[in-house]
Amino acid sequence: MTVDVKIWGIVQGVGFRPFVSRLAAVNGITGWVANEGGHVHIVATGTRDAIVRFLAGLAGENDGPAAVVHMETNYAVEPQTFDCFTIIESSKGKDDLVFLAPDLAICPECERELFTATDRRYLHPFISCMQCGPRYSILEQVPYDRDNTTMVDFKMCSFCAGQYGDFGDRRYHAETISCHDCGPQLLWTGLGGQTERFVALAAAVKALNTGKIVAVKGIGGYHLACTPFCTETVDNLRELKGREAKPFAVMFRNLAEVKKFCQVSVKAAQLLTAREKPIVLLPRKSSAIVASVYKLSRYLGAFLPYTPLHHLLLRETGPLIMTSANISDQPIIKDDAVMLGIKHHHLAGVLFNRRQIRIGIDDSVVRSTGSGEQVIRRARGYAPVPVYLGPVSDRPVMLLAAGGQLKNTFCLTKQNFAYLSQHIGELDNVEAIAVYQHNIERMTSLLRIQPEAVCCDLHPDYTTTKFALRYAQAKGVQLFRLQHHFAHIAAVLAEKQIFEPVIGVAFDGTGYGTDGKIWGGEFLLCTPQGFERGAHLQYVPMLGGDAAIKEAWKTACMYLDHAGLEAAIEEEKWPLLKAALLAGVNTISSSSMGRFFDAASAILGLQRVATYEGECAIQLENKAAEYGADRPRGKPYRYQLQAQDGKIIVDVGPCICDLVTAKTAMVPLPVIAYNFHYTVADLTANVCELLREKYRVNRVVLSGGVFQNAILFDLTVDMLQRRNFTVAFNSVVPPNDGGVSLGQAFAGTYLLRGEI
Ligand code: ZN
Ligand code: ZN
Ligand code: FE
């Protein structure tokens, strides 16, 4: 039989066609493969069994960096016979899709050459090939040719040029090809301000091995590197970065070394060694890594070397903290002048090179939960690989989704693909906003996208909303405003290509509701076209808007008061708060699940004030984790479900009362914390059952930042599945606000075609 296959994704310029012909040879397939426009086209003839194996091979893992985003197989073709399998001339094709490779981690063959003393590129810190090296971060314009990247500054020597032009060489048309003679040179600028070349690596190693902090230029920007074994050093790093309290990630030489410091499941090992080389959150073992690295987290963010330079460094230093070089949550530093301009007594030197980075890209963060893989931050290695949206569109639409305010990403669509930007971050400083706008311009131009509409949040104060309003006006295009939690759920619908109605459970910190109140504990009946609010946590008045969010003790007061437990409030400032509350000064109603977790954390005395978003809830989760898996199943605290205006209102006042009672009765905190999680999972399942009855919908979709809580996530998925729900959740984009732009884009494509 003969099949006709089309494959979209990162399949051009990454050695995909040779992979296809090897696969054909192994399976006894004849036919041909060609690049056509933005996709790869294959015609294959073979026995039915051979075709099945061949197709499975195409869709499965390949040994290179190629990423299949979408594959279409046509079985209804006339049988054809061929003598052999050939790679044929590329043609321009009709589609105008552009697929840009993400930055690729060093491949095994280059790694072997790097440490082969007889190899010309022995210890060359910038060794790369067709299968590996920087891509998206050095691209100036398409097509991806050396002259269109910042490698244009380095003229190939005759040796490299020879390999570049040799069809049989694995560096044939490898645009980032270089060697000691012609490539970027490793440079070191120490405290004295002098730039040195030949001792660069040795100087950096010496500094690191004596407990100093060094800036290291990587792929998407600079890292700050130092040993994770010395508290003083790590505290210095926190001072240098602006005293932030977030955990730092640690890079290890190899998987075996990670296993000495962390528990690594089979799935987690796959994530660590995956081609994207993300930071993987792993349960810590007790080790010589000092607490200042991970702070209060029960995880350690671990990752493996992904550039030749990382390998060269780590074999001399051992494990290193590698954290994005930025100051106080600003965008990652990518320019040499900026990095070299930072004079700080804790920064011993800068290890860098003159290859320019065009855009900043942070390391990605993922983890494996009991229920599946979760992306926490989608950046290097993933962006800008698009997400296939399914057969959404007869009329291809191009649009821009502006994303959220925190953990921002934006998203562009073209035909049936959604191109998510890398994680941009918090848009609360001018630097970040400039990076945001620059990336939008860059990506629309690289991908040849002229948005016909722009989507944004309902929140009037989001930077992204204001940007979208201006953009729509300036370009004369339509503007769509989408509710935040609907966008969270729509992101899962997009990922999983779900077009039927679902019960969307969005548990989140903050999102602007259609009634102008703060939402975040939402049960929404959703389709890609829109939603109906089926149930939500009861509104509790909150003080001070967004600024007070970090003060969990205030939230706790509000919950206690709301639950009729004013007498239990021991806060000195309570009378003041109460007065403001009664006067209605600066109060806003909130149904946020995130705030409910904050309140519980503060009531249990775990954490009163968050230094970063979600910290109080993380403390509560950590306590619950101490409960241990071998203990009996949890027991839910009380809550009430009430019908109101056709919606179900979840009153968690009784749960607050039970928390106070349990704490007063000296029930161990891990038990209370675990039962609290159990309660939320239990109420979720019960509300979903009621909504299933009402709407006759059996599929539940979970999203929102609160589901980064692994205990809650696993408990909820488990409980829903026990009650025969089909459960879907994010695995390609983050459940946090980093995924919102994908949801906006997906829903936006329907709005643009007037299907609402
Ligand atoms: Zn390579
Ligand atoms: Zn060379
Ligand atoms: Fe959100």
Q: Residue 394: give its domain's CATH number.
A: 3.30.420.360
Q: How many other C-beta atoms can be found within 10 angstroms of the C-beta atom of residue 514?
A: 12
Q: What is the pLDDT of residues 419-430, one digit of tens each?
A: 999 999 999 899
Q: Are residues 429 and 542 in the same domain?
A: no
Output the CA 164–ligand 2 centroid distance in Å: 10
Output the CA 217–ligand 1 centroid distance in Å: 19
Q: What is the full DSSP assignment across 49-84?
A: HHHHHHHHHHHS--SSS-EEEEEEEE--S-----SS
Q: Residue 696: give its domain's CATH number.
A: 3.30.420.40
Residue 358: inside a domain: no
Question: Residue 397: pLDDT band by 50, 70, 90 thresholds?
Answer: confident
pLDDT for 630: 66
Which bound ligand lies closest to the C-alpha atom of 174? 1
CA distances from 262 to 272, 287, 300, 706 (A): 12, 9, 7, 24
Instruction: Answer yes or no: is pLDDT of 118 > 50.
Output: yes
pLDDT for 107: 95
Contact call for residues 77 and 2 (beta carbons, < 8 A): yes
Closest CA to 383 of 436, 419, 338: 419
Residue 362: inside a domain: no
Closest CA to 608 of 643, 649, 573: 573
Rg (CA), the chain: 27
Q: Are residues 610 and 726 in the same domain?
A: yes
Contact call for residues 690 and 535 (beta carbons, < 8 A): yes
DSSP-derived 3-state class of residue 436: helix
Closest CA to 226 of 246, 244, 249, 243: 249
Output the CA 313–ligand 2 centroid distance in Å: 22
Query: Which residues fall within 8 angstroms of residue 491, CB to CB, at 6 or more apart?
Result: 703, 730, 733, 739, 740, 742, 743, 746
Question: Residue 604: pLDDT band by 50, 70, 90 thresholds?
Answer: very high
* End residue of a domain, out of 131, 163, 183: 183
Q: Are residues 227 and 332 in the same domain?
A: yes
Which bound ligand lies closest to the C-alpha atom of 124? 2
Q: What is the pLDDT of residues 446-482, one digit of tens each?
A: 999 999 999 999 999 999 999 999 999 999 999 999 9
Residue 704: inside a domain: yes
Q: Are residues 646 and 580 in the same domain?
A: yes
Residue 95: inside a domain: no
What is the β-pairing status of strands 299-303 and 279-283? antiparallel
Closest CA to 452 of 421, 418, 416, 476: 476
Question: Mean pLDDT, to the nearest integer, of 718-738?
Answer: 97
Instruction: Share the mean pLDDT of the chain.
Output: 94
Determine the Cα–Cα distance for residues 237 and 231; give it in Å rounded to an integer: 10
Determine the Cα–Cα distance for residues 327 and 268; give it in Å rounded to an integer: 30
Output the CA 592–ligand 2 centroid distance in Å: 58
pLDDT for 372: 86
Q: Are residues 702 and 608 in the same domain?
A: yes
Residue 119: inside a domain: yes
Determine the Cα–Cα distance for residues 703 and 686; give it in Å rounded to an integer: 17
Determine the Cα–Cα distance for residues 140 and 357; give it in Å rounded to an integer: 10
pLDDT for 756: 44
Residue 371: inside a domain: no
pLDDT for 91: 75
Spell out the long-range contacts of 22-29 with Cβ–Cβ below 8 A and sequence spacing 24 or more: 23/54, 23/57, 23/58, 24/54, 24/85, 25/85, 26/57, 27/53, 27/54, 27/57, 29/54, 29/85
Output the CA 198–ligand 2 centroid distance in Å: 17
Instruction: Answer yes or no: is pLDDT of 755 > 60.
Output: no
Residue 360: inside a domain: no
pLDDT for 377: 97
The angle at the Cα of 161, spanning 160 to 162, to the nearest 5 degrees, equals: 90
Output the CA 506–ligand 3 centroid distance in Å: 8
Output the CA 144–ligand 1 centroid distance in Å: 17
Helices assigned H by DSSP within 631-709: 653-664, 669-695
Q: Are residues 334 and 271 in the same domain?
A: yes
Which bound ligand lies closest to the C-alpha atom of 491? 3
What is the β-pairing status of strands 365-368 and 647-651? unpaired
Instruction: Answer yes or no: is pLDDT of 117 > 90.
Output: yes
Q: Are residues 261 and 397 in the same domain?
A: no
Which bound ligand lies closest to the C-alpha atom of 132? 1
Q: Residue 111: give its domain's CATH number.
A: 3.90.870.30
Q: Are residues 538 and 673 in the same domain?
A: yes
Tell me which H or E stretch contains 299.
Answer: strand 299-303
Determine the Cα–Cα distance for residues 247 and 622; give it in Å rounded to an integer: 14
Residue 283: inside a domain: yes
Output the CA 625–ligand 3 centroid distance in Å: 24
Output the CA 510–ligand 3 centroid distance in Å: 6
Q: What is the pLDDT of residues 496-541, one digit of tens each?
A: 999 999 999 999 999 999 999 999 999 999 999 999 999 999 999 9
Determine the Cα–Cα distance for residues 56 and 449; give it in Å rounded to an integer: 32
Q: Residue 276: give its domain's CATH number.
A: 3.90.870.40
Residue range of the domain that includes 388: 383-497+739-752
CA distances from 355 to 134, 147, 205, 221, 334 (A): 10, 13, 21, 11, 11
* End residue of a domain, out of 27, 55, 87: 87
* End residue of a domain, out of 163, 183, 203: 183
Output the CA 475–ligand 3 centroid distance in Å: 28
Q: What is the pLDDT of residues 304-360, one digit of tens each?
A: 999 999 999 999 999 999 999 998 778 999 999 999 999 999 999 999 999 999 999
Q: Are residues 618 and 637 in the same domain?
A: yes
Output the CA 44–ligand 3 centroid distance in Å: 46
Output the CA 669–ligand 3 centroid distance in Å: 28
Q: Is the dihedral of CA 452, 454, 455, 460 positive or negative?
A: negative
> What's the one-letter identity of residue 465?
T
Output the CA 15–ligand 2 centroid distance in Å: 21
Output the CA 135–ligand 1 centroid distance in Å: 13
Q: Residue 61: give its domain's CATH number.
A: 3.30.70.100
Q: Are residues 154 and 221 in the same domain?
A: no
Question: Residue 394: pLDDT band by 50, 70, 90 thresholds?
Answer: low
Q: Are residues 574 and 599 in the same domain?
A: yes
Instruction: Answer yes or no: is pLDDT of 202 > 80.
Output: yes
pLDDT for 191: 86
Question: Mean pLDDT, to the nearest integer, of 158-168?
Answer: 93
Q: Which residues make beta-bridge pairs with 536?
A: 522, 649
Question: Residue 142: pLDDT band by 50, 70, 90 thresholds?
Answer: confident
Output the CA 167–ligand 2 centroid distance in Å: 17
Contact call for residues 688 and 523 (beta carbons, < 8 A): yes
Q: What is the reported pTM?
A: 0.95
pLDDT for 457: 98
What is the β-pairing status of strands 540-543 and 587-590? antiparallel
Q: Structurally, how many domains does the chain consist of?
A: 5
Q: Are residues 682 and 725 in the same domain?
A: yes
Identify each DSSP E strand in 491-619 by its residue range.
502-512, 518-527, 530-537, 540-543, 587-590
Closest CA to 523 of 746, 756, 695: 695
Output the CA 156–ligand 2 centroid distance in Å: 5
- In the block, residue with structure tokens 């000296």: 666
Question: Residue 545: pLDDT band by 50, 70, 90 thresholds?
Answer: low
